[in-house]
Chain A
Amino acid sequence: MSSARDRPRRMGLIAGAVLTVFFVGVAVVGQFWTPYDPGAMSIMDKLEAPNLHHWLGTDQLGRDVLSQLLAGAKTSVGVALLSVIIGALVGVPLGLMAAARRGAVDELIMRGNDLIFAFPSLLLAILITAAFGPGAVNAIIAIGIFNIPVFARVTRGGALQLWTRDFSSAARVAGKGLIRISFEHVLPNLVGLLVVQATIQFSLGVMAEAGLSYVGLGAQPPTPSWGRMLNEAQTLTALSPTLALFPGLAVLFFVLGLNLLGDGLRRRQERSE
């Protein structure tokens, strides 16, 4: 049923989808084309305010800010996407297994999850960086590890509820085993739930990547990254206020779009149930 009261919610979903598609599109475009080489320095043109040649201005080394933002989008999207995939690939099967087997297996998996949850994420990121050196790949691994328990929990909760439904009993009467039922009956009915969770984790991933790069644990120069741009702009705020503005706005709107999308999808999911 659609009514006037649903309209703002639908608008949120649409706005979220538009923003998300826009930023993912930007990341793809940034792969192939940028107005200038994002790494090309030109000390003569340093710290320019936005103008016709450099639409968003230049930084302290004279690099074009727009080009850096376009190229940096790839780092943001890539790190967040890969870490969501890591989290889902490991977490979803763990959650399915915990719900199907119950008992000791369930305890072991869920208490293991609690362990990761209890561990400060930044600390683990520092640990990994200390062991393997900083870089985008290690950021992906660190953020991915923290996505695992989230996916495991969401999957287990939904799956437990599906296991109480009579159709899983019917499938067992039809001779199917726990693993087969998990993949044939349980997982397909959780897809909506997991897509919503993936959107939320994606937005957290974008923020986490920006945060790690900001403190120097993420992407390393010369790889462009929104978080590192913010870090470098920080000391120059007084000289060139716009320098911090654009990467900040990029993170803000991308995360906002993803959250709106996730919320909108979640509402649709709840209503269809």
Chain B
Amino acid sequence: MTSAPPVPLLQIDALSVSIGSTPILENISLTVGAGEILGLVGASGSGKTLTALAIMQLLPANSTLTGEIRLRGELLTGKSESELQSVRGRDLGFVFQEPLTALNPLMQIGDQVAETIRLHRSVSAAEAARAARETLELVGLAGGRGAPHLLPYELSGGERQRVAIAMAVALQPPLLIADEPTTALDVVTQAHVLRLLEELAHSRNMGLILVTHDLAVVAQVTDRVALLHQGEIVEQGATAQLLRHLQHPYGRALLAAARSKPKHGAPPPAAAASVLEVCGIVQEYPRRRLSLERAAPPLRAVDGVSLTVHAGETVGLVGESGSGKSSLLRVILALESARGGEVTLLGEDFSGARGRRLRRLRRGIQAVFQDPYGSFDPRWSVERLIAEPYFLLDSPPDIATRRRNVAALLELVGLSAADAQRYPHEFSGGQRQRIAIARALITEPAVIAFDEAVSALDVLVRTQILELLAHLSERLGLAYLFVSHDLNVVRSIADRTYVMQHGRIVEHGPTEAIFTSPHHAYTQALIAAAPILV
């Protein structure tokens, strides 16, 4: 433990920010000490990213700021742009959420780190390159995978995020701000990156502000937490105590949501008929040619996957990004034709069906997609969107019936019948996923496939949607195929779980058995890496 310095490393007093005439942040006061990790937590739109940008003095041009931000006692607010430029990078490091866009795609990673060093210190190119190499080693990019001459596209998401961290810490800044640094990463990589940040903070006595929406991450890594709600800090304190004695209703709701498990009916009897049978699916994608004469071997995304979904059952499919989950799902939904294997839906050959027969079979399986913002044609009304799958029926119902059915479905998924005449942009992410569920229900399918359907949602909204799904499955006897990289989500909803790695199923079985006694090394690693709230 370090003794409390007389002046905190970072002190924010009564910070308020508005963009245009809309107030975004109100009266934020925070301190961060050297070597301390502060978790800045809140739902999307709560102002956490803006707080981080305010500290960096990187606010959008039409914003106004009042209050004071001091770094080591020195006032940052009111500094000129050129003064700020020497502070950013040297005294303040910043790691962005999206590791792909934060790096220059055409510049070798060693040069990108060295560039930061040379901007602030008058050192020779050789010295900067050596310092860059050392920093890359420090963040765990040593040897072949961290060679400074690599370009960003040659690295994985986690490795890119390490480069971004290396750029941020190359000059050993006293304060590092990381804005959702692991949100775009899968669970195993997330654990590695979090451990790296934690080690850096402790070994260098560096202050760290970790911006996140994930309470489990906060519980695992941070010393103190500030909870943001609608631009105000509603609660602040030492992590362990705070999570135990949350006062503010929003904080309690957040914690309850992070811990909740939707009430789940008894799993269907083992003898239930299978509604979806996937047998030996192989899917390959062509890769760029090695040279003019030599074709590269195709990328095998799905390698002989078989799985079964029984009537009324919820089946989880877990795997990290790039494991082939989405490719498999596209084959199952007959959006792509596979290289090999077959999909049987309700006892009929689905993967081989064409034309009229394919349309008839499609009624049995519908889908909810990941991105609540991309799932709807912005020019269509909700009623038209929900009724779109009626195209599958040979004799679609007349307009009055259609309207009635859409209204009933909207109410079933927790929206109002009047929403039918509105357009997608008028709804929040969670409401849009409800609309997507209504659209999937309209042909009364036997199975609904969910492709990361709750990944883009806040934890509170996510819990509500999962509860809705559990309720619907019980009431309508629906089977779900639930694809996700989020173990907690799958654990809370699935009866059985398949674990996928490198295009193969490495383990499957009843969900609780998988989570309590995983057999395969990969499953064990996945479960160990998942942050949990105690």
Interfacial residues, chain A to chain B (CB-CB below 8 A): 1, 3, 165-167, 169-176, 184-185, 188-189
Chain A residues, Cβ within 8 Å of B371: 165-166
Known A169-B330, A175-B391, A185-B377; further 18 A-B contacts with Cβ < 8 A: A1-B20, A166-B371, A167-B377, A169-B333, A169-B335, A170-B388, A170-B436, A170-B439, A171-B388, A172-B333, A173-B333, A173-B335, A173-B366, A173-B389, A174-B388, A175-B358, A175-B359, A188-B377
CB of B331 to closest CB in A, whole Å? 13
Q: Which 5 A-B pairs have the closest CB atoms?
A: A166-B369, A174-B389, A175-B359, A166-B375, A165-B374
B62 interface residue, CB < 8 Å from A? Answer: yes
Chain A residues lying within 8 Å of B362, measured Cβ to Cβ, are 173-175
Query: Known interface pairs A173-B367, A173-B389, A174-B388. Does A167 touch B374 (Cβ–Cβ under 8 Å)?
Result: yes
B379 located at the interface, meaning its Cβ lies under 8 Å from any Cβ of chain A in the complex: yes
On chain A, the residues within 8 Å of B375 by CB distance are: 165-167, 170
Taking a contact as CB atoms under 8 Å apart, the answer to whether B376 and A167 are in contact is yes
In the complex, how many angstroms separate the beta carbon of A157 from the nearest chain B beta carbon?
A: 17
- Binary per-residue interface labels of chain B (297-332) against chain A in the complex, 1 for a CB within 8 Å, 0 otherwise: 000000000000000000000000000000000100
> Which of chain B's residues have a CB closer than 8 A to the CB of A185?
377
- B379 contacts A188, C-beta separation under 8 Å: yes
Contact status A176-B391, CB under 8 Å:
yes
Complex Cα distance, B60 from A3, in Å, reads: 13
Judge if B378 is at the interface, Cβ distance under 8 Å.
yes
Q: Provide the bound-state CA to CA distance between A185 and B375, in Å.
A: 12
Chain B residue at smallest Cβ distance from A184: B377
Question: A173: which B residues are within 8 A, CB to CB?
Answer: 333, 335, 362, 365-367, 389
A3 partner residues in chain B, CB cutoff 8 A: 20, 62
* Interface residue SS majority, chain A: helix
Q: How far is the CB of B351 from chain A (nearest CB, A)?
A: 15
Residues of B within 8 A of A175 (CB): 358-359, 362, 389, 391-392
Q: How far does the Cβ of B498 sit from chain A's closest Cβ, in whole Å? A: 21
B436: A residues at CB distance < 8 A: 170
**CB-contact partner of A172 in B335, B374, B379, under 8 A:** B335
Q: Bound state CA distance, A184 and B387, in angstroms?
A: 14
**Min distance, Cβ B10 to any Cβ of chain A, angstroms:** 31
Nearest chain A CB to B47 CB, angstrom units? 18
Residues in B whose Cβ lies below 8 Å from that of A169: 330, 333, 335, 367, 369
CB distance from A164 to the nearest CB of B (A): 8
Q: How far is the CA of A175 from the CA of B377 in the complex (A)?
A: 16
Cα distance, A189 to B377, chains bound together (Å): 8
Residue numbers in A under 8 Å from B31 (CB-CB) = none
Residues on B with beta carbons closer than 8 Å to the beta carbon of A184: 377
A170: chain B residues within 8 A (beta carbon): 367, 369, 375-376, 388, 436, 439
CA distance A172 to B366 in the complex (A): 10
**A-B CB contact pairs (8 Å), 29 listed:** A1-B20, A1-B62, A3-B20, A165-B375, A166-B375, A167-B375, A167-B376, A167-B377, A169-B330, A169-B369, A170-B369, A170-B375, A170-B376, A170-B388, A170-B436, A172-B333, A173-B333, A173-B362, A173-B365, A174-B362, A174-B389, A174-B392, A175-B359, A175-B389, A176-B388, A176-B391, A184-B377, A189-B377, A189-B379
